[in-house]
Amino acid sequence: MENNMMPHLEELNGRKALFVDGKPFIILGLQWDCDGCYTPEDMDPFFEHGQKMGLNAASLLLYWREVEPVEGEYHFEMLDHRIEMARKHNMKIVLVWFGSFKNGCLTYAPDYVRSDHKRFIKVQDKEGNLHTNHCCPTAAETYRRDELALIEIFKHLKEIDSKDHTVILFQIENETGIFGTDRCYCDNCNTEYAKDNYGEKYGVRAGESFSAKCIAEYCDSLTKTVKSIHPVPVYMNVWLNKIYKNEKAGFDYPAGGPVLPVLDIYFKTVKHIDFISPDIYQYSYKDFNYFCKAYTTKDNPLYVAECATGKGARTEKNVFYAIGKYAAIGYDPWAINRCCPGFMTQPLVNTVDGRWSDEAYELHKSYKMINDAMEPIVLAQNTPSLKIFVQEEGDNGALLEFDDLDIEILYDHPLNAARGMVIRRSAMEFILLGAGGHVSFSKKGGKRVSVSKVESGRFQGDAWVLSYQLSSERAPFESIQMLDCRVLRVVLGERLDKPDLK
Ligand code: DGJ
């Protein structure tokens, strides 16, 4: 396959869209529990469930200590295994690198890095205490070994994945930052800090801003190296700071990660990282929307790198906000086999007996519908032709307003989880996908417009594949019931520009 078929981002409708194997693609994924999926026995059972749940990608972990257990000895058996499993289950992979930073810690670095504090400098606070589980962001030797491991990984990927492109996206490090202090106060960091007027420029956030600049450079430089070998898109994820609480960098959240207060430093510094993605563990739809909006710009497409699962997490609803309102290129809740928050609660797939939670069935419906209309969705994202509805507490319905007509949705969902999307394909043709709603069309000003044809089916690329047509004897239809899990193609029965007869 040609190199131009590499997964890549492309300008479309004023934002960046993801293309995989030459086609528009939205990642509908789930992450595997990163702190509990180390062996094939741990991770394999979930591929079949993931496939049934409608995932087109799995977000899988790659641990530095697994790849390079001993300095200079590289092992790819587990990486190969993950790729083989994904291919077998018709999924792509978002590969997540746990190198020098994993939730602000060095947890997954090899022992030779973790145990040697002279060669591999660790974070030092103002009082001179050493924080041995945290990497100093200017530690040259740690950087060098992290980079060497990544070079080997990317050479390997180039060799085994240049034809299939199973790995479509790479996460450089994980929830970067440091803990125990706002910045590292080792001699080297102190010298670097003194060179630039951080105190004057950033006031109370001076230390955090310095950490942000150093980590942005660290990750961007790693990204430059890996992309020169095998150019898959690369992103960073973020441990967010809370909106309503005055949290302290380095104590409540890792100092130096791309949180909102220092995001501009990242945007100015990084040249090779494709985008920065929030991990949104917030239950309220307002908070979810707040962070989606904050991490969506013309050049920074939204990819929800992680979000909550489990009871009340609204995973199946939030995907419509992300994709429909913010033109997201992907959505990857954490995790298929574990909930966050609420680690001890029933996960989407029970690890012992494989039982699905209620939330798993609902997520499956959302993913199936979106998958079945993938290309029209991507082509309509960020345009007025695509509108969404999501039932929130107290809502009975929604009004979707187009220039010349209104679409009314009356909610009827047993779990109050009506949700879906309408795409206008032409003046008379609409695609409806959703759960729990009765849909009717009206001209601006109120007169009902009937529907002459309702078909159920799915899209293959941009081509409609009909599975069946609702009985034409019932036409014209006054209103249409959204069918769970189905994509409907609807044709209006009368022209909208025709004057109404008295
Ligand atoms: C966010 C991290 O990025 C993940 O690796 C995982 O630790 C989850 N939190 C759940 O704790």
- How would DSSP label each residue in 307-326? E--STT--HHHHHHIIIIIH
Q: What SS3 string covers 33-73? A: CCCCCCCHHHHCHHHHHHHHHCCCEEEEEEEHHHHCCECCE
Rg of the chain over Cα atoms, rounded to whole angstroms, equals: 24
Looking at residues 17-24, what average pLDDT do you find?
Answer: 98
What span, in angstroms and rounded, lies between the C-alpha atoms of 379 and 386? 9
Looking at residues 231-243, what average pLDDT do you find?
Answer: 96
Write down the mean pLDDT value for the chain: 96
Residues with CB under 6 Å of ligand 1 are 34, 103, 174-175, 279, 306, 334, 340
Confidence band of 302 (pLDDT split at 50, 70, 90): very high
Among 2.60.220.20, 3.30.1330.40, 2.40.50.140, 3.90.1150.10, what is the CATH number of 386-492? 2.60.220.20
Predicted pLDDT at 483: 74
Predicted pLDDT at 252: 97
Expressed in angstroms and rounded, the spacing between residue 234 Cα and the centre of ligand 1 is: 19
Confidence band of 496 (pLDDT split at 50, 70, 90): confident
Looking at residues 59-87, what average pLDDT do you find?
Answer: 98
pLDDT at residue 1 greater than cutoff 50: no
Q: What CATH code would you report for 26-287+330-335?
A: 3.20.20.80
DSSP secondary structure code for residue 179 in this structure: S
Confirm whether pTM is higher than 0.75.
yes
What percent of the chain stands above pLDDT 90? 92
What does 363-414 look like in DSSP terms, one character per residue?
HHHHHHHHHHTHHHHHHHTTSTTEEEEE--TT--EEEEE-SSEEEEEEE--T
What percent of the chain stands above pLDDT 70? 98
Beta bridge partners of 150: none
Looking at residues 345-366, what average pLDDT do you find?
Answer: 96
Q: For residue 289, which of 258, 314, 252, 254 has the smallest C-alpha distance?
A: 314
pLDDT at residue 477 greater than cutoff 50: yes
Atom index in ligand 1 nearest the CA of residue 61 equals: 5
Confidence band of 411 (pLDDT split at 50, 70, 90): very high
Pocket residue to mutate for ligand 1, from 334, 336, 337, 338, most atoms within 8 A of Cβ:
334
Residue nearest to atom 2 of ligand 1 (CA): 103
Beta strands across the sheet bearing 303-304: 303-304, 330-331, 27-31, 57-63, 92-98, 167-171, 234-239, 275-280, 306-307
Dihedral over Cα of 296, 301, 306, 308: its sign: positive
Q: For residue 215, which of 274, 156, 263 has the smallest C-alpha distance?
A: 263
pLDDT at residue 421 greater than cutoff 50: yes
* Three-state secondary structure call for residue 448: strand
pLDDT tens figures, 118-171:
999 999 999 999 999 999 999 999 999 999 999 999 999 999 999 999 999 999
Expressed in angstroms and rounded, the spacing between residue 103 Cα and the centre of ligand 1 is: 7
Where are the alpha helices (H) located in 60-205, listed in sequence order? Answer: 64-67, 77-88, 111-115, 140-161, 187-195, 198-202
pLDDT at residue 499 greater than cutoff 80: no
Q: For residue 369, which of 461, 432, 414, 430 has the smallest C-alpha distance?
A: 432
Q: For residue 111, which of 156, 81, 163, 73 has the smallest C-alpha distance?
A: 73
Dihedral pair phi/psi, residue 160, rounded to 5°: -100, -10
In this structure, of 11-20, 25-34, 221-230, 341-350, the range with the lowest mean pLDDT score is 341-350
pLDDT at residue 109 greater than cutoff 50: yes
The domain limits of the chain are 26-287+330-335, 386-492
Predicted pLDDT at 283: 82
Dihedral over Cα of 27, 32, 35, 39: its sign: negative
pLDDT at residue 3 greater than cutoff 80: no
**Tokens standing for 379?**
């082509």
Looking at residues 325-342, what average pLDDT do you find?
Answer: 96
Looking at residues 78-85, what average pLDDT do you find?
Answer: 98
pLDDT at residue 95 greater than cutoff 70: yes
Looking at residues 481-491, what average pLDDT do you find?
Answer: 89
Could you tell me if 470 and 481 are in contact, meaning their C-beta atoms sit under 8 angstroms apart? no
Expressed in angstroms and rounded, the spacing between residue 493 Cα and the centre of ligand 1 is: 51
Residue nearest to atom 6 of ligand 1 (CA): 34
User: Are the folds of 26-287+330-335 and 386-492 the same?
Assistant: no
Looking at residues 257-285, what average pLDDT do you find?
Answer: 97
Atom index in ligand 1 nearest the CA of residue 174 equals: 3
